[in-house]
Structure 1
Amino acid sequence: MVNDFDNMIHENLFIFDIDAMTRKKVEPEGEVDGEVTSALVSCSYFDLDKRADNLVMEHQLVSINTTDDLLKIVWESSMCRGYLFLLDTPEPLLDYANTYHHTWDYNGRFVLVDWTLEHMRALTMTKNGKKTEHIVGAVKSSTEGEWMLYMNQLYWGQGVRHINTWRRHRFIHQLDLFPDKLSDLQGAVLRVSTFMFKPCIFYRRAPDGSIVSRYGVDIEVTKAVAYLLNFTAKFEEPPDRKTWGSKLENGSWYGMMGQLERNEVDIGVANLYVSGFRSDILDFTAPYTSEMTCFLARTEPPLPRWQALAFPFHIRMWLAILGGLIASGPMLFFVAWCSGRCGGDEIRGLQSLSFSWYYAFGMHFCEAHASLPRMASTQILVMFLWLYTMILTIAYSTNLRAFLIVRKPPAMMETIKELYESGLEVAAEGTVYRDGIAASSDPYLRGLARVYKGYDFQEDTFPLVLEGKAVFLGNQVTLEFLVSNKFTSRGIPRMRIMKENFASYSIAMALQRHSPLKRKVDKVLGWIRQSGLVRHYFLDSLRQAAAYEEDGHSEDDSGSIGGGQEEEVVVADGVIPLGLDHMQGIFMITIIGWVFCTQVFLFEKVILSDQS
């Protein structure tokens, strides 16, 4: 019988005599036959059946006959979280614990009186009972006036455990009936879903393909949590080589998300983003790190070498040079012609427009002429023309060397606006980014949701990116690792990260929905984050991966994909010899000259034939 319900509510505990509970009210002093009873449970509501009239209660007092009667309870009261059940039949509560998952108070303290041991075990095995930390039951023994108290074990073991005995109006042991079952899981084996996701998770495999060990920042964080909470992490992969998984049309999930939704694993880790659309089927822990999300695009191939002849000058500079070349011939002709008409002794060749043009054209190529001007005015003009062309040719030849040796990169897409205007597909693994893109305030970023496409494996997207048909969306750390380890050959990357990124995401562990582990795991992750161990784990895993590959081992897919580009041949002193690829432009000019000369020759031949 509950003693003084008003005091019990305010003091967040109640004192009772199990024998008297079904017979009479206990006096407010909380003593039975001169003996002080034990504080058992905090409480706010009591769910009673026909014996409710024996109890005095100003708070919730609900008569339970069917499962629907349990819906009348205001679960998770702000006053306290205790529930006392005096039921003739346990079926309504068992059915409720298997059906209503969102209203159950998983952090409450449940006291069941006059249940059988089988019913106690059945409650702890329901969907809600498996995730409830505190369930205590009083089972009447064959001895008169004796009650056996059992509690659920949660992660400590299956079923229930006998913890105390009520005899002669008192407990025979002074024990905490609601111990902390989460700070020390006593070596319980928890199933952890994960998969290889470099550079966060690495695998080492035996020659037969079996997994020898796992390491990486996510694995080390999980091991640290397991050590501090004293449980054994049993790692396993999602079925059918699926990774995080997505929601199917029938409403179910596959991959890691499906395992957590079906309660097949306890924890999921693999660079997992905290996202709202997954929160309906699982609980995220407190984040232990964060990462930027970026776009991975193809590194555009360098411009052809023959175009290097035009690279030293900007297009406006070339137009200015062309204008100077066109104006120099007539200007030279005009000065020489005026000098000749004024009685000067200027050479006759410069008094011809075609010869003056040819003369000025040769000066632009620093070509010396046998005929020199005689008049002072013409000599001054030629002197400045020589100064102009010398500076021009020296600047061109000096800059040309650099462009012949180093390839000029083309203009590249760097912003979200440019990506939107390009119309390229935005490829990603799964659909985790789609909602974030569609909800963005940036109209260009929001427009990318129309070309977003999720894939089961990121490897399926890389050929599209290399062909220039798509960009890949992922976290910055992973993309940097991919570029340096998969798509770089002899120092030349075939992919690059665009300068403008998408958003920052928090990285956390995933737990089953309403998992009792969350409070303790959050606390431990806070310690790990504050200590700086996350960064230490990440750098240490990169060093391990580098050392492992230096020993001649391979970790599945660390090699380059698709081969590299043509490389430069460098001699011992570091000088790059000029090859046909560097100098192809001059041969193209020669061929163009041959073609043009042939056309002019044919034209002259036709003219001469007509004249004859």
Structure 2
Amino acid sequence: MNGSRDEATKLARLLLSVAQREMEGCDLVVAVDDAYADPAIVREVLKLPNPKQVLTVRGLSDLLSVAWVSGRCSGYLMLFGDPAPLIEFGDKHLNKWNYAGRYFFVLPSKLDFQAFADSVKGKKSERLAAAIKSNRTPEWTIYINQLFGSWEVTKVATWWHTAFTTEVRLYPDKLSDLKGVMLKCVTFEWKPSVFYYRSKNGTVLFRYGIDIGVVQTLSNVLNFTVQFEEPPAEEYWGREEQNGSWSGMMGKLARNEVDLGVVDLYVTIIRVNILDYTAPYDSELSCFMARTEPPLPRWQALAFPFQGTTWLAIIIGFVVSGPVLFLLALGSARCGGEKISLQSLPSSWYYSFGIHCNENQTFWPIGESTRIFVVVLWLYSMTLTIAYSTNLMAFLTVSKPPASMETIRELHAAGIEVSGLGKFYGDALASASDPYLKSLAFRFQDYNKDEVIIGKVLRGESVMLQNRPYLEFVAKTRFIDHGVPRLRLMKECFAPFNIAMALQRHSPLKRKFDQVIGWMINGGLIRHFFLNSLRLAASVKAREDEEAEAKGEFQGEQDSLVASQTNDGVIPISLDHLQSIFFIYIVGCVFSAFFFLAEVRMCRQVHKKSG
């Protein structure tokens, strides 16, 4: 240090005081350049019991060798007569810096400290302080940096000879009260996480939802205001481009254009190099949404009460019952007599068919063995008839859905396209350990619009992979046909993800945001935000329905009439419900006409031969 030995002693006492007051128990890094090479300046600091690294800085490369990573608190005493390497370092090698460290600089001027405080590293470091030597008096002026709003460094104390002139805190809490500073938040409408309440002309009046509730609570607790922005149209969360840059929400955060981002944001390792996540405050499954297949035709309803194997057993029983009855009748005829009609195989089958249809027969068998078999056949047929008739009514009035994909293995076997917004889910599928999930990555197609994906899903050309709440909201509110959702969620989902807020990489806000989010979780506020948003969304939907009904009064009256007919819980049987029996009636008439024509033809041939 240029100057007298007395000035070196005063500076040494200042450094020792700062290290003892503010860096007790911390790892210490002492970095000096040639202007402060006098050993007396740091001799007393080096006597402290703290673990230490001491180095001389002559250029930017020397700063790269500093121990920027530590498992506990870290203090940095950095003395530079030439601040150029430090100022240059402030905007380079952004991962080579301890953003949570406690820094105390000795610099030639306030402007030098301001230049570093305005750098990328300076703006994201909460604890920066500097001592500037006065040219005319033996005093050192102490400045600290400011976060957000005003970035100008502030004078907080003066070191005179051997002590501070006033009681001072070099590293105060700068985040508990942000003094109304405006923070920019990027988001977009993504129901049910983020809703937009719009005026009739489409202007956004306010936003609500789980994520918005978290932001507003943070704003109230930490005293800042929020300016919402949106990513460019159709970019949503964004993707990594071929040149390494990011689009959408991620791009705005990576370029430090906004301070935070929220909208159903998954915590994944893919994005950790460009942003920081807060503590997660929710979790969701990623599921597959497919088309609801149209119900089976009602004319097939007569076959629905029994499964295929049951019908096969009934047919076999009927086929066997005729010959058995015929053989028993022949045996009875030899041992004492039996009805002649039962001694014919066609007649025995006809008799058995009547019993299967629960119809009373005009005569009773004579033989005991034949009677026993008919009683057993009657009990068997009566049970079948009751079971069939009671189950038939349910299938006549309720549509039966066809078998559909429900598992990931079935989706793999179907060979259908898997779609999603952006490439995120494609990368997630490719990294899955399950072979069936991994195979879906080769069929994954990313799109920029959810309308395009949903259109393909409705046509049965694709399934959509997205977070479960969004898919449920879409399926239950946007695509309903006569009260039946046209879209459905498969039973087997992909993977759970934590939901968090995104911050700029190395943002100083993370520490305080994590603390407040923990309070919200413990207080049950996240669930409260969710329920409130659903209630508000329901009221908005009801208002829109009322306005739509007012514009179409006739249709509203028709809907009311239909509702009045079904509100009592009784469903009248319509022609649609009974189309199966009419189908059988028509088929029977066609067969009867066919056999009638065949009989007429045979009769004419007989008359020709006899004539």
Class of the TM-score when normalised by the shorter of the 2 chains: 0.7 to 0.9
- 1:587 equivalenced with 2:577 (yes/no): no
Give the equivalent residue in structure 2 for 1:12.
none
Q: Relative to 1, partners in 2 of residues 1:555 and 1:146: Cα closer, same or farther, differing over 3 Å? A: farther
Task: Report the residue type matching 2:462 in the other structure.
Answer: A
- 1:95 equivalenced with 2:79 (yes/no): no
Shift of 1:444: 2.1
- 1:422 equivalenced with 2:427 (yes/no): no
Q: Relative to 1, partners in 2 of residues 1:139 and 1:344: Cα closer, same or farther, differing over 3 Å? A: closer
- What SS is found at the alignment partner of 2:587? helix
Q: Relative to 1, partners in 2 of residues 1:580 and 1:51: Cα closer, same or farther, differing over 3 Å? A: same
- 1:136 equivalenced with 2:129 (yes/no): yes
- 1:523 equivalenced with 2:515 (yes/no): yes
- 1:576 equivalenced with 2:564 (yes/no): no
Task: Report the residue type matching 1:313 in the other structure.
Answer: F
Give the equivalent residue in structure 2 for 1:233.
226
Q: Any residues of structure 2 matched to 1:338-487 within 5 Å, and which? A: 344=337, 346-347=339-340, 349-367=341-359, 382=374, 384-487=376-479
- 1:207 equivalenced with 2:200 (yes/no): yes
CA contact (8 A) 1:49 1:86 kept: no
CA contact (8 A) 1:19 1:169 kept: no
My pick for the range that moved more, 236-245 or 218-227, is 236-245
For structure 2, which runs of at least 5 residues remain unmatched after alignment?
47-51, 549-561
- 1:543 equivalenced with 2:535 (yes/no): yes
CA contact (8 A) 1:404 1:582 kept: yes
- Whole-Å Cα distance in 2 between the matches of residues 389 and 311 of structure 1? 18
- Whole-Å Cα distance in 2 between the matches of residues 493 and 456 of structure 1? 24
Q: Relative to 1, partners in 2 of residues 1:229 and 1:356: Cα closer, same or farther, differing over 3 Å? A: same
Task: Report the residue type matching 1:211 in the other structure.
Answer: V
State which of 29, 53, 73 in structure 2 corresponds to 1:44.
Answer: 29
Give the equivalent residue in structure 1 for 2:500.
508
- Whole-Å Cα distance in 2 between the matches of residues 607 and 524 of structure 1? 94
CA contact (8 A) 2:197 2:205 kept: yes
Task: Report the residue type matching 1:479 in the other structure.
Answer: L
Q: Relative to 1, partners in 2 of residues 1:574 and 1:113: Cα closer, same or farther, differing over 3 Å? A: closer
Shift of 1:142: 5.3
- What SS is found at the alignment partner of 2:466? strand
My pick for the range that moved more, 593-602 or 396-405, is 593-602
CA contact (8 A) 1:569 1:576 kept: no
- Whole-Å Cα distance in 2 between the matches of residues 151 and 590 of structure 1? 94
Give the equivalent residue in structure 1 for 2:306.
313
CA contact (8 A) 1:38 1:170 kept: no
- Whole-Å Cα distance in 2 between the matches of residues 445 and 37 of structure 1? 57
My pick for the range that moved more, 569-578 or 209-218, is 569-578
Task: Report the residue type matching 1:268 in the other structure.
Answer: G
- 1:122 equivalenced with 2:115 (yes/no): yes
Identity of aligned residues (%): 47
- What SS is found at the alignment partner of 2:309? helix
Q: Any residues of structure 2 matched to 1:486-497 within 5 Å, and which? A: 486-488=478-480, 491-497=483-489
CA contact (8 A) 2:336 2:367 kept: no
- Whole-Å Cα distance in 2 between the matches of residues 333 and 37 of structure 1? 112
- Whole-Å Cα distance in 2 between the matches of residues 102 and 497 of structure 1? 42
CA contact (8 A) 1:165 1:172 kept: yes
Task: Report the residue type matching 1:157 in the other structure.
Answer: S
- Whole-Å Cα distance in 2 between the matches of residues 332 and 69 of structure 1? 105
Shift of 1:480: 2.9
- Whole-Å Cα distance in 2 between the matches of residues 306 and 232 of structure 1? 63
CA contact (8 A) 1:267 1:509 kept: yes
Give the equivalent residue in structure 2 for 1:597.
592
Q: Relative to 1, partners in 2 of residues 1:421 and 1:570: Cα closer, same or farther, differing over 3 Å? A: farther
- Whole-Å Cα distance in 1 between the matches of residues 222 and 330 of structure 2? 101
- 1:69 equivalenced with 2:62 (yes/no): yes
For structure 1, which runs of at least 5 residues remain unmatched after alignment?
2-17, 557-566
- What SS is found at the alignment partner of 1:246? coil
- Whole-Å Cα distance in 1 between the matches of residues 5 and 237 of structure 2? 51
What are the Cα deviations for residues 112-151 of structure 1, in whole angstroms up to 9, with x where unaligned?
3343333332212211111112223334445343444332
Task: Report the residue type matching 2:317 in the other structure.
Answer: G
Task: Report the residue type matching 1:255 in the other structure.
Answer: G
- Whole-Å Cα distance in 1 between the matches of residues 482 and 113 of structure 2? 67
What are the Cα deviations for residues 516-575 of structure 1, in whole angstroms up to 9, with x where unaligned?
11111111111111121111121122122222333347999xxxxxxxxxx999546432
What are the Cα deviations for residues 172-216 of structure 1, in whole angstroms up to 9, with x where unaligned?
433222222122222211111111222222111112211111111
Shift of 1:301: 2.2
- What SS is found at the alignment partner of 2:142? strand
Q: Any residues of structure 2 matched to 1:191-206 within 5 Å, and which? A: 191-206=184-199
Shift of 1:56: 4.8
Give the equivalent residue in structure 2 for 1:7.
none
My pick for the range that moved more, 219-228 or 73-82, is 73-82
Q: Relative to 1, partners in 2 of residues 1:167 and 1:601: Cα closer, same or farther, differing over 3 Å? A: same
My pick for the range that moved more, 533-542 or 456-465, is 456-465
- What SS is found at the alignment partner of 1:99? coil
Q: Relative to 1, partners in 2 of residues 1:253 and 1:277: Cα closer, same or farther, differing over 3 Å? A: same
CA contact (8 A) 2:29 2:66 kept: no
My pick for the range that moved more, 352-361 or 281-290, is 352-361
Q: Relative to 1, partners in 2 of residues 1:573 and 1:290: Cα closer, same or farther, differing over 3 Å? A: closer
What are the Cα deviations for residues 550-601 of structure 1, in whole angstroms up to 9, with x where unaligned?
3347999xxxxxxxxxx99954643222222211112222232233334434
Shift of 1:310: 0.8
State which of 5, 14, 24 in structure 1 corresponds to 2:8.
Answer: 24
State which of 293, 297, 301 in structure 2 corresponds to 1:304.
Answer: 297
Shift of 1:102: 0.5
Task: Report the residue type matching 1:546 in the other structure.
Answer: A
- Whole-Å Cα distance in 2 between the matches of residues 206 and 316 of structure 1? 59
Q: Relative to 1, partners in 2 of residues 1:451 and 1:314: Cα closer, same or farther, differing over 3 Å? A: same
Task: Report the residue type matching 1:272 in the other structure.
Answer: L
Task: Report the residue type matching 1:253 in the other structure.
Answer: W
Task: Report the residue type matching 1:320 in the other structure.
Answer: A
Shift of 1:101: 0.2
Task: Report the residue type matching 1:215 in the other structure.
Answer: Y
My pick for the range that moved more, 367-376 or 353-362, is 367-376
CA contact (8 A) 1:569 1:577 kept: no
Shift of 1:243: 1.6
Task: Report the residue type matching 1:217 in the other structure.
Answer: I
CA contact (8 A) 2:338 2:365 kept: no
- 1:218 equivalenced with 2:211 (yes/no): yes
CA contact (8 A) 1:194 1:269 kept: yes
What are the Cα deviations for residues 195-245 of structure 1, in whole angstroms up to 9, with x where unaligned?
122222211111221111111121111111122222212222112243211
What are the Cα deviations for residues 87-121 of structure 1, in whole angstroms up to 9, with x where unaligned?
34332222211111011122223333343333332
Task: Report the residue type matching 1:575 in the other structure.
Answer: V
- What SS is found at the alignment partner of 2:8? coil
CA contact (8 A) 1:48 1:61 kept: no
- What SS is found at the alignment partner of 2:185? strand
- What SS is found at the alignment partner of 1:510? strand
- Whole-Å Cα distance in 1 between the matches of residues 487 and 402 of structure 2? 14
Q: Any residues of structure 2 matched to 1:552-571 within 5 Å, and which? A: 552=544, 570-571=565-566
Q: Please, what TM-score do these two structures have when normalized by structure 1?
A: 0.85
State which of 138, 155, 163 in structure 2 corresponds to 1:145.
Answer: 138
My pick for the range that moved more, 292-301 or 18-27, is 18-27
Higher share of residues assigned helix: 2
